[in-house]
Amino acid sequence: MAKYSHIESALIHGGIYGDPLTGAVNVPIYQTSTYEQQALGQNKGWEYSRTGNPTRAALEALIAELEHGAAGFAFASGMAALTAVLSLFSQGDKILISQNVYGGTFRVLDKVFKNFGLSYSIEDTANAETLADKITPEVKAILIETPANPLLTVTDIKAVADLTKARGIKLIADNTFMTPYLQNPIDFGADIVVHSATKYLGGHSDLVAGLAVVKEKELGEKIAFIQNATGGVLGPFDSFLLIRGIKTLGVRMDRHAQNAERAALYLKSHPAVKRVYYPGLEDAQGYAVNKRQAKNGGAMISFELTEKYDVARFFSSLRLIALAESLGGVESLACHPATMTHASFPEKIRQEIGITDGLIRLSVGIENIEDLLADLEQAIERSGE
């Protein structure tokens, strides 16, 4: 019989558990760059820590298990993970990306990969019918985020996977917002899952890391080659911290989502609020699709205040919730996508995809919900004075 069959246990016991040498319940931090070899051509499976490190390997085995993939890879940041994945493609290839993907994903395609002849276009991946027509022969992959940042647009993973499978191209899913606790894109047909582990997986706003998981071994061999060749690997100490963070992912996500649901309902009923974006609200875009592919609506909310309220004043009036980039930590954060996370989008594209100057994004933390609602209440009140 298997030792466990539920993700809550896999978060704690998955991958490579503990240390066989000493019985330590935690994987040690192998703070080493190299490994002594027994003789020419003989070693204990480790040669150099860019290629492989036991602490990183434990993390990589863990994320592969959690995302139901064949292999996992740990990188120095989410962008390093995405860069490694995009390095699978060649000059002349094209990638389709979801509208309102993470600003850095757009930037690396627009300002780095474009120079190497890899092109991209921004598409409404939530609409599988119109998306099908965009898959021209040079398109080699579709990169989706669901829910996408910052309007929480839901894409039907299976509907897009049906398209990519039929055309023999790859589906890449950035699962940062949901985490493997709430959503497993590989189960719905994704070929590669990417995470900014800086966010919920780490969970404590104390590290920057990225992960990639592949569905099939063959693609894993290609990414392992790129990881070693380009070298954006995660260090042993941060690998340890990330394993530590992942152990509590389940309890954190339950509370995050519970708080977010309350906050979304509160904002929705507030007369100062024009619009709320949260995939856990029954009248939200993609509510039914999200319900099918994810455990709940997650813990990211965006909203707009009516014109009478001053957004800058709202941010400066917050007392408990911090004005900051990033998301997914235990503490609640608020940000202004138009000038922060999505500033790398040209104004015209930003307007087209609905990232208005009045948009506020909340990463709902795990504090007491009454304290969070009280902070929102007083900040909204002040912003209307």
The residues carrying an active-site annotation are: 50, 102, 174, 199
User: Cα(87)–Cα(306) distance, rounded to whole angstroms?
Assistant: 43
> Cβ closer to ligand PLP: 326 or 378?
326
> Cβ closer to ligand PLP: 14 or 232?
232
> Cβ closer to ligand PLP: 355 or 380?
355
Residue in the block written with tokens 């394993």: 243
Contact flag: residue 199 with ligand PLP (CB under 6 A): yes
Residue 117 gets the label, from left (phi > 0), alpha (psi -120 to 50) or beta, of: left
> Applying CB under 6 A, which of residues 67, 93, 123, 174 lies at the interface with ligand PLP?
174
Contact flag: residue 191 with ligand PLP (CB under 6 A): no
Cβ–Cβ < 8 Å for 290, 182: no
Chain centroid offset of residue 352 CA: 23
- Closest to 149 in 3D by CA, of 346, 347, 335, 367: 335
Tokens of 23: 């019985």
Contact flag: residue 180 with ligand PLP (CB under 6 A): no
- The amino acid sitting at 325 is E
Chain centroid offset of residue 7 CA: 18
Q: Which residue is nearest to ligand PLP (CB)?
A: 78
How near is the Cβ of 290 to ligand PLP at its closest, in Å? 16
> Cβ closer to ligand PLP: 13 or 107?
107
- Closest to 235 in 3D by CA, of 214, 208, 212: 208
Q: Residues binding ligand PLP: what is the number (CB under 6 A)? A: 15
Contact flag: residue 179 with ligand PLP (CB under 6 A): no
> Applying CB under 6 A, which of residues 78, 279, 280, 286 lies at the interface with ligand PLP?
78
Q: Which stretch binds ligand PLP (CB under 6 A): 165-173, 193-201, 268-276, 309-317?
A: 193-201
Contact flag: residue 104 with ligand PLP (CB under 6 A): yes
- Closest to 216 in 3D by CA, of 186, 180, 174: 186
How near is the Cβ of 76 to ligand PLP at its closest, in Å? 8
> Applying CB under 6 A, which of residues 149, 290, 302, 332 lies at the interface with ligand PLP?
149
Provide the β-strand partners of residue 171: 142
User: Cα(77)–Cα(152) distance, rounded to whole angstroms?
Assistant: 22
Contact flag: residue 98 with ligand PLP (CB under 6 A): no
User: Cα(9)–Cα(66) distance, rounded to whole angstroms?
Assistant: 10
The contact pattern for ligand PLP, residues 38-77, with x = CB under 6 A and - = no contact, is: ---------------------------------------x
Contact flag: residue 311 with ligand PLP (CB under 6 A): no
Contact flag: residue 196 with ligand PLP (CB under 6 A): yes
Cβ–Cβ < 8 Å for 69, 191: no
Q: What DSSP state is assigned to residue 360?
A: E
Contact flag: residue 145 with ligand PLP (CB under 6 A): yes
Helix (H) or strand (E) holding 285: none
Count other C-beta atoms under 10 Å from residue 337's C-beta: 23
User: Cα(32)–Cα(34) distance, rounded to whole angstroms?
Assistant: 6
Contact flag: residue 79 with ligand PLP (CB under 6 A): yes
Q: Which stretch binds ligand PLP (CB under 6 A): 99-107, 128-136, 245-253, 308-316?
A: 99-107
Contact flag: residue 198 with ligand PLP (CB under 6 A): yes
3-state secondary structure of 193: strand
Contact flag: residue 102 with ligand PLP (CB under 6 A): yes
Q: Given the rule CB under 6 A, which residues bind ligand PLP? A: 77-79, 102, 104-105, 145, 149, 174, 176, 196, 198-199, 208, 210
